[in-house]
Amino acid sequence: MPGLTNTLVPFPDNVPTHPLLVVDYALIVANDEAELDKLWKAATKLGFWYIKNHGAEHEVSNMFDMGAEALDLPFSEKMKYEQGDNGDSFGYKARGTIATDKNGTKDNVEFLNISQDDALAWPSMVRRTYPWTVNKCMEDTITPFVKKSMEVNRTFLEFFERKLQLPAGELLERHDEKELNGGEARCIRTPPKQTSTGVGAHTDFGSLAIVHNRLGGLQVMPPGTDQWLYIKPLPGHAVCNIGDALAIFSGGILRSNVHRVMPPPGDQWRLPRYSISFFTRPGDDVILRPLKGYSQLIMSAVAESPREEYETGSTSKEWISRRIRRLRIKNRAGPQTWYASMGTEHQGVRDMPSKSVAATA
Ligand SMILES: O=C(O)CCC(=O)C(=O)O
Ligand SMILES: [Fe+2]
């Protein structure tokens, strides 16, 4: 039981944390004005918030067990499902295969990504195969988790579509579950007693993430600061965040904030850390660019603070694939490969040696 024992070792009270707004999902579904205002504030100011009453506790608990069982398989077995160096996201990612910074410092986490397309189509295969321990949990654990998470994110997307003054369906149709898309469930494991970065500073590739944590380690850098602050895991609460695709579609109105994963703080450092996430991503063929032709609000946002990098000229699939490919250590040619892995975050670009990210992307 990977997670349950973890709750016995409390998150320390002497490390810097960042408070997040708590959004009650049940009130969002009920269209509660005050709660919707809170969600909008969270999505536009920091791009991170807690949700409670998401109704997926049972599925999440099963996912922690599923993830631990799969990641406990022999290394040689897991490697049969490795995502490889071509920019694919689905499958197993071994430790030490991606960079966490511009110097190419290797990551120390392993994870398993299960495609939304595969979870929904099971027992048919759409994207790829998975270890037997995953297959046996697909019907009872993974597909129900994916469906519940999709429902939560769809509710958020519907609301953002309205608030962004987009025609009904304009944002939702870019996340049509019937089209092949990058959506995936993920279990990450960090071994105990690590001293280096787990997942390097990044913004998420896709539209929305829901992250379930029992141990600390996730950190955000609040806008306008250069300080990393922990997000404290709260029992029964998940952390949601906006990814690059929504930041781009909205012309920057929705915020995709930089975050990373460090070893758990305090005594939690002695424990292995597991996290369970779900990522909603646009359809593979959807072009990532501001939807300014459909919304005066987005048009004004783009006019006020134009950002060249929002006109990506790429499809969602190309965007994700480029970033993963550039993160893989095998593909690294130097610091420029790290810069070329970046999304809308520009933290590291300040000390970038050469002039253009696009030139190496
Ligand atoms: O493990 C976590 O808490 C967050 C992981 C994360 O940011 C990611 O997988 O994109
Ligand atoms: Fe992330």
Residue with CA closest to ligand 1 atom 10: 204
Looking up tokens 């810069």 gives 339
Ligand 1 centroid to residue 187 C-alpha, Å: 9
Per the CB < 8 A criterion, the answer to whether 289 and 310 are in contact is: yes
Of 329, 318, 354, 344, nearest in space to 105 by CA: 329
pTM for this entry:
0.95
Per DSSP (E only), the strands in the chain are 22-24, 48-52, 91-93, 110-115, 184-190, 199-202, 208-213, 218-220, 229-230, 238-242, 259-261, 273-280
Residue at 79 is within a domain: yes
| Residue-number span of the structural domain to which 98 is assigned | 2-344
pLDDT value at residue 6: 56
Residue at 356 is within a domain: no
Give dist(CA 2, CA 272) in Å, integer. 8
Give dist(CA 152, CA 161) in Å, integer. 14
The verdict on the CB of residue 241 being under 6 Å from ligand 1 is: no
Ligand 1 pocket check: which of 89, 113, 199, 273 to mutate, most ligand atoms within 8 Å of Cβ? 199
pLDDT value at residue 344: 87
Residues ≥6 apart with Cβ < 8 Å to 233: 11, 213, 214, 215, 216, 218, 239
Residue with CA closest to ligand 1 atom 7: 260
Residue at 361 is within a domain: no
Give dist(CA 23, CA 28) in Å, integer. 8
Ligand 1 centroid to residue 263 C-alpha, Å: 12
Residue at 301 is within a domain: yes
Gyration radius of the chain over CA positions: 19
3-state secondary structure 150-212: HHHHHHHHHHHHHHCCCCCCCCHHHHCCCCCECCEEEEEEECCCCCCCCEEEECCCCCEEEEE
The verdict on the CB of residue 259 being under 6 Å from ligand 1 is: yes
Give dist(CA 302, CA 294) in Å, integer. 13
Give dist(CA 2, CA 6) in Å, integer. 7
Give dist(CA 13, CA 141) in Å, integer. 34
Give dist(CA 29, CA 18) in Å, integer. 26
- Name the stretches of the chain with pLDDT < 70: 1-7, 346-361
ipTM of predicted complex: 0.99
| Structural domain total, the chain | 1
Assign residue 233 the CATH number of its domain: 2.60.120.330
Ligand 2 centroid to residue 204 C-alpha, Å: 5
pLDDT value at residue 356: 34
Looking up tokens 């006020």 gives 304
Residue at 277 is within a domain: yes
Of 278, 345, 255, nearest in space to 43 by CA: 255
pLDDT value at residue 351: 42
